[in-house]
């Protein structure tokens, strides 16, 4: 049995209320439940964490190393485009991770085209709404079962 950390960046606590034409109607709770369901059915466990603070996300990634987390599924949200600190913490802990976005940042404003994570992620799932998370979870499960 493996443990997956499902990690969410700033403003994702507002999903379901926030710019629904871009991010859809699914709440963070429903996304957490779908991912947990998929992982539990395959015998893996999931821990969830959301924060609006960069340092708290860095701390959570560092903690994952002590907890022997096997895989991280991460939507860094706006930190995708700004955070060398979060990139460095993922490199430091060496835990494989999947980058997830509800929207497709590459089809949005220019400032969203840069990701500090895509080149070091196992894979990126974006533009599929809440389905981006379930696709990433399925890929993570396959990776863990290999």
List interacting residues with ligand DQA (CB under 6 A).
Answer: 11, 75, 77-78, 80, 101-103, 105, 112
Q: Which is nearer to ligand DQA, 60 or 101 (CB)?
A: 101
Q: Which is nearer to ligand DQA, 3 or 11 (CB)?
A: 11
Q: Least distance to ligand DQA from the beta carbon of 14, Å?
A: 9
Q: Least distance to ligand DQA from the beta carbon of 17, Å?
A: 13
Q: Least distance to ligand DQA from the beta carbon of 44, Å?
A: 23
Residue with tokens 């821990």: 47
Q: Mention every residue, 6+ apart, whose C-beta is less than 8 A from residue 104.
A: 126, 127
116 is catalytic: no
Q: What angle do CA 87, 91, 95 make, to 5 degrees?
A: 110
Cβ(123)–Cβ(96) below 8 Å:
no
2 vs 12: CA distance, rounded Å: 25
Q: Which of 23, 98, 125, 133 is catalytic?
A: 23
Q: Which of 8, 44, 79, 101 is catalytic?
A: 101
Question: In the chain, count of helices (H) and strands (E)?
Answer: 5, 5
18 vs 134: CA distance, rounded Å: 20
Q: Least distance to ligand DQA from the beta carbon of 70, Å?
A: 23
Q: Which is nearer to ligand DQA, 23 or 141 (CB)?
A: 23
37 is catalytic: no
Residue with tokens 């400032």: 111
Q: Which is nearer to ligand DQA, 2 or 7 (CB)?
A: 7
10 Å Cβ neighbour count for 79? 22
Q: Could you give the residue numbers annotated as active site? A: 23, 101
């Amino acid at each position: 049995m493996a443990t997956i950390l499902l990690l969410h960046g700033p403003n994702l606590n507002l999903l379901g209320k926030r710019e629904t034409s871009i991010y859809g109607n699914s709440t963070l709770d429903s996304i957490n439940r779908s991912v947990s369901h998929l992982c539990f059915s395959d015998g893996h466990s999931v821990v969830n964490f959301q924060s609006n603070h960069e340092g708290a996300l860095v701390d959570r990634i560092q903690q994952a190393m002590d907890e022997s987390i096997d895989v991280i599924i991460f939507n860094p949200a706006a930190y995708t485009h700004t955070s060398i600190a979060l990139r460095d913490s993922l490199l430091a802990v060496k835990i494989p991770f999947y980058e997830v976005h509800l929207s497709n940042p590459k089809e949005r404003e220019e400032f969203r085209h840069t990701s500090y994570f895509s080149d070091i992620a196992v894979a990126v799932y974006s533009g599929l709404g809440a389905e981006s998370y379930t696709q990433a979870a399925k890929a993570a499960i396959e990776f863990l079962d290999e």
